Structure 1
Amino acid sequence: MKQFFKFVLASIVGILITTFLLVIIIIGIIYSASGDKTVEVEPNSVLRMAFTTPITERTPNNPLAGLDFLGLDKDKSTGLNDILANIKKAKTDDNIKGIFLDESYMTSGQATTEEIRNALIDFKKSGKFVVAYAEIYTQGFYYLASVADKVYVNPKGMIEFHGFSSQITFLKGALDKLGIEAQIIKVGTYKSAVEPLVLTKMSDANRLQVTSYLGSLYDHFLTGISKSRGINKDSLFNYANQMRIQQPEDALKLKLVDGLKYKDEILDDLKKRSGTTSKELKSIELGEYTKSNPEKEDKDDDNSSSKNRIAIVYASGEISGGEGDDNTIGSERISKALRKVRLDNKVKAVVLRVNSPGGSSLASDVIWREVMLTKKVKPIIVSMGDVAASGGYYISCAADSIIAQPNTITGSIGIFAILPNLQKLFNDKLGVTFDGVKTGKYADLGDIDRPLTPDERLILQNSVNHGYDDFTKAVAEGRHKTQAYINSIGQGRVWTGTQALQNGLVDRLGNINDAIASAAKKAKIKNYNLVSYPEQKSFLNQLSGDVTVEARTRMLKSELGDSYKVYEQIKGITQMMRTPQTRLPYDIVIK
């Protein structure tokens, strides 16, 4: 009888799960169908842009975006590709009278913000207005908003303007308490990804490099605001250094904003600016505007307006072996995409869009090889996003040309490996011991229940040294420099795009559109269509996995709060222990 009820219960659960998934699929189909409809933009409208979620490279393929149900609204944000396309479209759209930058947090990286900021500067050339408003301006959003014709803040709001800081969480003390030793094998004086595991504070070399690139980022930040607001850069530095902006009135007095207004006053102002006579402001959200007056899609046939194509291959996230997805770089998936565009005669040039802190050195080399092969048959230009460092730089270095933003984080040419020694944890903390036999001296190399012997450490060090030699050779060949020179600016050191231009790691500063134009010029074509790779997974293929992962992530963030960042760091370190890494020293967070 007990078995009977067990089977009945299992059947009921199975039916419920199946029914639930069918409902979700039906909702997805309905939303997908409705999402294909063209949105009409009313005359005298304002394009509202609010960035409250992380900005990805490409808009996620999710027909349930915007449906607040079981976390399925996670992809309601618009990708950078559509943001830039919408600003460009709005520039010549007679129905759009201006852009409203509304309450945003700008959790995106600085180079992404730079792309949007430059697009807004270009938009203003049309003579249309840009107005910004917020109750609280983060430094990131203020940098973006500073290009607006008018910048307003709530009378009781605030503007964060205090300079940049970067903080690292060190775990050595916790590991010591647990009886865990992180055995480090690395090449690169500045390759400091391992420091949180073996030190309790920054090394002198790491402090030097962080001071250098943080200073470069901050200088660019102040320069941009100075040019937009007409305020001397030294004055801006002093405002931040002396914490002069404490109240909204301070920001108004020092000309960082143009007025103190409530939201209703802003809406009334926008109605006047847009020339609408209706009671409510005519506005359209960024995501909806994507569906307005869609351009003719480039079909995979001979009937397209132009047979020439430029392929944009998106490589975003940490690098690992396997397939990966839109937020991680799987060497197999990106390699397939590069092979496909290389063999497609309609594709005349390739733009490799890289936004990655690196990862597996082996996976990075696999992708590098495909870039090399592509370069032999057609132009390939790299466009760097927020980060293109370590493995992210490895996959970039073979390209014909590299274009980065001034505040892109790049370089970090180095390699390391981590092997944990859990002997004290097992023996002293848990009372667990191990014993066994082996057929050779190194048969158990890599076991985590004991420390490395000197011979074993030498073997691993030689392997890492060999990987670093391959890395610097690849960069030297791609950048037409000597290996000795690359070693001198390598050693794991992190650079900004501005610094990388000076030392020869990139060719010019610019955005993804500059990279596309460069690719077209090198391919000697004027008319072309843009096509994107790898193909994004369909909604149904990613549904079950995404829902599960999102639900778990939200639960962890809710329970851990600010400690979630520490959890992510520990998780990342666990992943780094699998293979040698060409990875950025740590996740760079600037506050």
Structure 2
Amino acid sequence: MDPTKTIIDTVERFRRRRTAPLVLELDLTEGLVEGPPADPLDALLSRRKARLADVLGGLKRARQDPRVKALIVKVGGPLGLAAVQELRQAVIQLRSSGKLTIAYAETFGEFGAGTVPYYLATAFERVYLQPSGDVGLTGVVMEQRFAKGTLDKLGLDYQVGQRHEYKTAANTFTQSQMTEAHQEMTTRLVESIVEQVVAGVAEGRKLAPERVRELIDEGPFLGAEAVEAGLVDRLAYRDEIYDEVKRDVGDDALLQFVSRYNKTIKSIKLPHPGEQAVALIHGHGIIRLGRSGRGPLAGGGAMGSDTICAAFRAARRDDSVKAVVFRVDSPGGSYVASDAIWREVVLTRKAGKPVIISMGNLAASGGYFVSMAADTIIAQPGTLTGSIGVLGGKMVTGGLLDRLGITSEQVHVGANAGMFLPSRPFSGEQWSRVDAWLDRIYKDFVTKVAEGRKLDYDRAHELARGRVWTGADARENGLVDELGGLEDALATARDRAGLPADSPVRAYPKTNALERLRPPESSEDKAAATAGLRLEAWGPLNRLAAELGLPATGPLVLPGQWIIR
């Protein structure tokens, strides 16, 4: 082998990688990750998934980069509606800068529900589908299952109080069908989401909104039917799509994933000591007391009050931090943990540092509680938020135990020592304590909503009552200030703090490996907020919630399971 030729070839390859046209790729079949990993297990499980912030940053940078000629996105995987809208916004802005954008899918639902992924694809200039694929544009459905009949047969009784009629999480166990309030709320949620989907598909595919509604009623579509209806540009396999793109932008174009592109050396701005910045705090998952991390009943990541509060304190003490963006993606959880985080938001504002909320797919119940004191709340139209209410109670298992021949006896000191045991129902006096607890939490919640959103109490109560709103409707009612995504929130934070548009963003709390290993010196030490595995959500009711009945996630939680397909 000629050493000179090897060196020349190596230099040429390096030059080409620095100068050749770029085609950016994004594979969404594994979904996206919202924020930094909460713990080592989370990091391992999410290592193949792109991070939303990296994708948004890469697409923003690509708008100004003459080397970037096109973007190809493989659509699929689990994505929430708000995340889809955030991506749509970024793609539309990239298209407006003159870049070619192509979405392709092996299938939008495989002859099943695929409305949300197809809605994402319509933001692109061209939409391609594998010949064997389908377009599951079938509309939006929210289904609620009711287990009261099953509980009755088992001899189980669910004692629960809720504030108020729209706080429907317990309806699964206490009702056999939707109540009038439940039906009203769910109907409006579905209508609002369909309005957003119809508008996006109509604009992207250049169809009349009325025609899009007709097509929704006609779906799902086989591939050829989708082309004929104008929903897809053409049927093609991956190799055919990539060959077409190379013909459009040049055979010498290089492929690069958006996340890798965003992390290349040219995009990295080296920090300067004391440089003014915006702090970015991620709050993801069920809200609980203690540290963020992964709990056995938390459904993955959890937002720990110790971690989030420590992050706000660190940002307040850092003189170079001039504003804070709090990214919230949570269905709620512990009232006490939510209140601790709320207090840190208030203190950060009092310290003269604006706090901007960026809502993800969910910012409901406790997720709204931690948001409501901010200077500005920004949500996507499809964000599910509000649910300003509370519920509490217990599952009574005495009837089931009797049927099974199981008996129990109590030895206690204190009239209410066994109040939360599931074997016996609440007495009248005990139920009055549950009612007092619910009333206190609800009044505190609504009072703080009124203060934070500059509403009188009666108006805040009217919007509360446990009702879930889409971001679009929440904005109309004053619960949200603006519609937009994380990049909009960062821009707002820079503007409120008087910072330049390219000022850096710093994640908080950011600890190095040594800080995570050493014992913290005090509760003010960043090391005190490293991830743990505790699960605390209900306070005095945690034992009950872990055994049976109420969700172990806390009294301030979004009612039901909200999956938009």
TM-score normalised by L of structure 1: 0.81
Paired residue for 1:196? 172
**Shift in alpha-carbon separation, 1:323–1:43, aligned structure 2, 3 A:** same
Paired residue for 2:254? 282
> CA separation in 2, counterparts of 1:131 and 1:580?
43
Match of 2:230 among 224, 236, 255: 255
**Shift in alpha-carbon separation, 1:276–1:114, aligned structure 2, 3 A:** same
Secondary structure of the residue that 1:156 maps to in structure 2? Answer: coil
> CA separation in 2, counterparts of 1:201 and 1:94?
57
Match of 1:321 among 289, 295, 305: 289
Per the TM alignment, residue 141 of structure 1 is displaced from its structure 2 partner at its CA by 2.0
> CA separation in 1, counterparts of 2:79 and 2:283?
17
Deviations 1:253-272 (A, max 9, x none): 22111112232321210110
**Shift in alpha-carbon separation, 1:536–1:573, aligned structure 2, 3 A:** farther
Q: Does 1:311 align with 2:279?
A: yes
Amino acid at match of 2:494: A
> CA separation in 2, counterparts of 1:393 and 1:384?
9
TM-score normalised by L of structure 2: 0.85
Q: Does 1:246 align with 2:221?
A: yes
Amino acid at match of 2:559: P
Paired residue for 1:123? 94
**Shift in alpha-carbon separation, 1:343–1:49, aligned structure 2, 3 A:** same
Paired residue for 1:35? none
> CA separation in 2, counterparts of 1:537 and 1:406?
37
Per the TM alignment, residue 287 of structure 1 is displaced from its structure 2 partner at its CA by 4.1
> CA separation in 2, counterparts of 1:49 and 1:111?
18
CA contact (8 A) 2:332 2:554 kept: no
Per the TM alignment, residue 515 of structure 1 is displaced from its structure 2 partner at its CA by 1.3
Paired residue for 2:430? 456
Q: Does 1:76 align with 2:76?
A: no
Secondary structure of the residue that 1:119 maps to in structure 2? Answer: helix
Match of 1:405 among 364, 374, 380: 380
Q: Does 1:98 align with 2:74?
A: no
Q: Does 1:362 align with 2:333?
A: no
> CA separation in 2, counterparts of 1:73 and 1:464?
38
Per the TM alignment, residue 276 of structure 1 is displaced from its structure 2 partner at its CA by 1.0
Secondary structure of the residue that 1:447 maps to in structure 2? Answer: coil
Paired residue for 1:561? none
Paired residue for 1:522? 496
> CA separation in 2, counterparts of 1:63 and 1:584?
28
Q: Does 1:264 align with 2:232?
A: no
Per the TM alignment, residue 130 of structure 1 is displaced from its structure 2 partner at its CA by 0.6
Secondary structure of the residue that 2:385 maps to in structure 1? Answer: strand
Paired residue for 1:434? 408
Paired residue for 1:149? 125
Q: Percent identity?
A: 33
> CA separation in 1, counterparts of 2:440 and 2:68?
57
Paired residue for 1:53? 30
CA contact (8 A) 2:393 2:434 kept: no
- Give RMSD over aligned pairs: 2.7
CA contact (8 A) 2:309 2:344 kept: yes
> CA separation in 2, counterparts of 1:178 and 1:209?
30
Aligned length: 512
- How do residues 370-389 of structure 1 correspond to structure 2 at under 5 angstroms? 370-377=344-351, 378-389=353-364
Per the TM alignment, residue 437 of structure 1 is displaced from its structure 2 partner at its CA by 3.3
> CA separation in 2, counterparts of 1:298 and 1:182?
57
> CA separation in 1, counterparts of 2:42 and 2:248?
31
Secondary structure of the residue that 2:281 maps to in structure 1? Answer: strand
CA contact (8 A) 2:160 2:394 kept: yes
Amino acid at match of 1:338: F
**Shift in alpha-carbon separation, 1:439–1:572, aligned structure 2, 3 A:** closer
Match of 2:268 among 276, 279, 296: 296
**Shift in alpha-carbon separation, 1:316–1:128, aligned structure 2, 3 A:** same
**Shift in alpha-carbon separation, 1:79–1:271, aligned structure 2, 3 A:** same
Moved more, 433-442 or 153-162: 433-442
> CA separation in 1, counterparts of 2:514 and 2:211?
51
Deviations 1:11-38 (A, max 9, x none): xxxxxxxxxxxxxxxxxxxxxxxxxxxx
Match of 1:140 among 102, 116, 138: 116
Amino acid at match of 1:50: D
Paired residue for 1:210? 186
> CA separation in 1, counterparts of 2:92 and 2:250?
22
Paired residue for 2:391? 416
> CA separation in 2, counterparts of 1:249 and 1:413?
46
Per the TM alignment, residue 573 of structure 1 is displaced from its structure 2 partner at its CA by 9.1
> CA separation in 1, counterparts of 2:371 and 2:46?
30
Deviations 1:144-187 (A, max 9, x none): 11122211112232111110001123232333343322210211
CA contact (8 A) 2:116 2:564 kept: no
Match of 1:584 among 546, 558, 563: 558
Amino acid at match of 2:505: L
**Shift in alpha-carbon separation, 1:80–1:573, aligned structure 2, 3 A:** farther
Per the TM alignment, residue 54 of structure 1 is displaced from its structure 2 partner at its CA by 3.0
Per the TM alignment, residue 282 of structure 1 is displaced from its structure 2 partner at its CA by 3.4
Per the TM alignment, residue 536 of structure 1 is displaced from its structure 2 partner at its CA by 7.1
Paired residue for 1:33? none
Paired residue for 1:552? none
Task: Mark the runs of 5 or more structure 1 residues left unpaired by the alignment.
Answer: 1-38, 67-71, 543-548, 550-569
Moved more, 577-586 or 454-463: 577-586
Deviations 1:405-453 (A, max 9, x none): 1111111000011312111222221x22122333332232212111111
CA contact (8 A) 1:98 1:128 kept: yes
**Shift in alpha-carbon separation, 1:418–1:487, aligned structure 2, 3 A:** same
Deviations 1:232-265 (A, max 9, x none): 011100111133x522222212211111223232
> CA separation in 2, counterparts of 1:536 and 1:217?
39
**Shift in alpha-carbon separation, 1:106–1:471, aligned structure 2, 3 A:** same
Paired residue for 1:554? none
